[in-house]
A and B are shown apart, each in its own frame.
Chain A
Amino acid sequence: MTTLNIHNLHWSPKGHGHCHHQFQLRGVDLQVRPGEFVGLIGPNGSGKTSLLRCAYRFNAPERGHITLDDHNLWQQSPRWCAQRIAVVLQEFPDAFGLSVAEVVAMGRIPHQGLFDGDSRQDRQRVQQALLDVGLHGFDDHAFATLSGGEKQRVILARALVQQPRVLILDEPTNHLDPRYQLALLHQVRQLRIATLASIHDLNLAAAFCDRLYVLDHGRIVASGTPHQVLTAELLREVFGVQALIDRHPLADHPRITWIAPQ
């Protein structure tokens, strides 16, 4: 039983002159099961963002397919996908001063008709989502005046009002201080929505993910529980760094200690 199923996915960037091997995807297989928090890790340029973009129907695959509950994404409309997949990106609408409530309410777009106003139910969902991410009462604040952590939580709230089956997060903890990194990932885990997230910080990935996929040069080179995946050998081969791996003293997940090159 899988929610999101990516099978033998091939994709390469087009229209960028000489063809780089960077950002390419070559035969990726990946599954996200109901309620599961799946982490995607890999060095810069390994294709994490390309893979996520395929998963939310922005990049069209060259070969292979992506299904959500056994429906091929590319045989469905963008709207169909947006009703089921919500995405938290590093892209912020800070240009013209939308309010927090307006940014969150955008999440209702896939569920509304052309000339529909926001119904009372829509407004209640917006309030509930703001409550869920700890931003109750921020409705009329200008989005641009918020801190990085608050902005990220507003975008998460927007994803929540989409009522998704699958949540996709692209580096959700970038630019956040430790407190908000932990709070955000904890919040997402609490939701028990099937989640696929690319995460830079391997200790965070180890702490929050049920399973990890390691992407290197556009291929999945390892997958499994954090204990299975995060080994000193893999970190050396894929990331090219020395690390010490032991068990976290307080929880059952691996802890990574980096060893700086001498």
Chain B
Amino acid sequence: MKTRYRLMLLALSGLLLVSCVLSLGFGSAPVPVEVVARVLLFKVFGIAPEVPAWTAGQEHIVWLIRVPRMLLGALVGGGLAMIGAVLQAVTRNPLADPHLLGVTSGATLGAVLVVLHVGELIGVLTLPLAAFVGALCSMLLVLAIASRHGRLDSDRLLLCGVAVAFVMMALANLLLFMGDHRASSAVMFWMLGGLGLARWELLAVPAASVLLGLGLLLGMARALNALMAGEQTAVTLGLNARSVRLLAFLICSLLTGVLVAISGSIGFVGLMVPHIARRLVGAEHRRLLPVSLLLGSLFLIWVDVAARTLIAPEDLPIGIATAAIGGLFFIGMMRRR
């Protein structure tokens, strides 16, 4: 079991690394693989060829557009998959996913409000910031409604999350319906999910958040195993089930808020990838979390390749692609079982 897991981790990491490079070639303007490789060698390791082997345009496309986009895809996919795995364990519900907790809808409402009624105050950052503030507000709202007598039980948490999500979405849709159509379509595009906002300078926050989240959640991995077995069991093993659950909820909500703010609501990764990962390495969280992360990254990188090539030069909103591909893949897997 242990060696199998190590091999799996090694294989997935290798696959991810190769995918990172290969995926850069695809897009509305294809770039040959050897050019991609040379640009990367030059940019990352400073190895320059004697004669310039690429155009300035190609360098711009690869290094300034596609690399940040690929990295953001890896971060968002991996992050959402990891969050999904944790939430499914904490709520003991295999259908739990990052967007169920109301965070995404809160982010949407925040984005709609600011884009329609305030305008771009601080340039490109306006929308992500507004979305993150919205996510925070809805997280606090869910917590306030769900906790009773200082405790937080998982069914109540899920139901409150869903209820808050519906109210937030209703408000957001109402504003969109009554608002200016050009602004609406900008928000719509964000809502359907996309990695188009990716810039180098925007990557630091999600990267730090995902790494920090992974570290914290790995530290809680054993507690998550016990919580998956049930609240009573967790208590008899000396864990404070309530604080573990609250902490997991906070970490997941904040991380979801950060990811959703930049990439919009990309569905299905957080729901589906943990189930695939469990089939590969089982439900033990010290193994499940890293594998979910790697699988989620891999998945989103390639779905984004599909999203930017299928109807090139237009970008297909990645949310549509993840839902379609993910859903079909899942149906196929269920039938084969």
Contacts and interface: CB of A to CB of B under 8 A. Distances in A.
Interface stretch (A21-29, A91-99, A199-207): A91-99
Interface in A90-109: 91-93, 95-99, 102-103, 106-107, 109
B290 interface: no
Interface in B164-221: 218-219
A93 B278 contact: no
Contacts of A209: none
Interface string B148-170: 11000000000000000000000
Given A97-B282, A98-B284, A102-B282, A83 B229 contact: no
B89 interface: yes
A87 B230 contact: no
A114 B219 CA distance: 6
B149 A15 contact: yes
A82 B233 contact: no
B283 A96 contact: yes
A19 to B, nearest CB: 15
B238 A98 contact: no
Q: Dominant SS at the A interface? A: loop
Contacts of A78: 235, 238-240
Contacts of A15: 148-149
A82 B239 CA distance: 8
Contacts of B284: 98-99, 102
A254 B175 CA distance: 76
B232 interface: yes
A77 interface: yes
Q: Interface range on chain A: under 10, 10 to 19, 20 to 34, or 35 or more?
A: 35 or more
A79 interface: yes
Contacts of B149: 14-15
Q: Which of B88, B149, B278, B283 counts the most chain A CB atoms within 10 A?
A: B283
Nearest to B235: A58
A13 interface: no
Contacts of B94: 95-96
A77 B282 CA distance: 31
A110 interface: yes
Nearest to B286: A117
A30 interface: no
Contact of B238 (A95, A110, A115): A110
B289 to A, nearest CB: 13
A189 interface: no
B232 A91 contact: yes
Contacts of A237: none
Interface in B222-240: 222-223, 225-226, 228-230, 232-233, 235-240
A86 interface: yes
B283 A107 contact: no
B1 interface: yes
Nearest to A95: B92
Given A79-B238, A80-B238, A109-B238, 17 more contacts: A15-B149, A58-B232, A58-B236, A78-B240, A82-B237, A89-B233, A93-B229, A95-B94, A97-B282, A98-B225, A98-B282, A98-B284, A99-B284, A106-B229, A106-B233, A109-B237, A140-B1
Interface of A: 14-15, 56-58, 77-83, 85-87, 89, 91-93, 95-99, 102-103, 106-107, 109-110, 112, 114-115, 117, 140, 162
7 contacts: A78-B239, A78-B240, A80-B238, A87-B232, A89-B230, A92-B230, A117-B286
The list of the 10 closest CB pairs from A to B, nearest first, reads: A82-B238, A93-B229, A79-B238, A96-B283, A110-B238, A87-B236, A91-B230, A109-B237, A78-B238, A98-B283
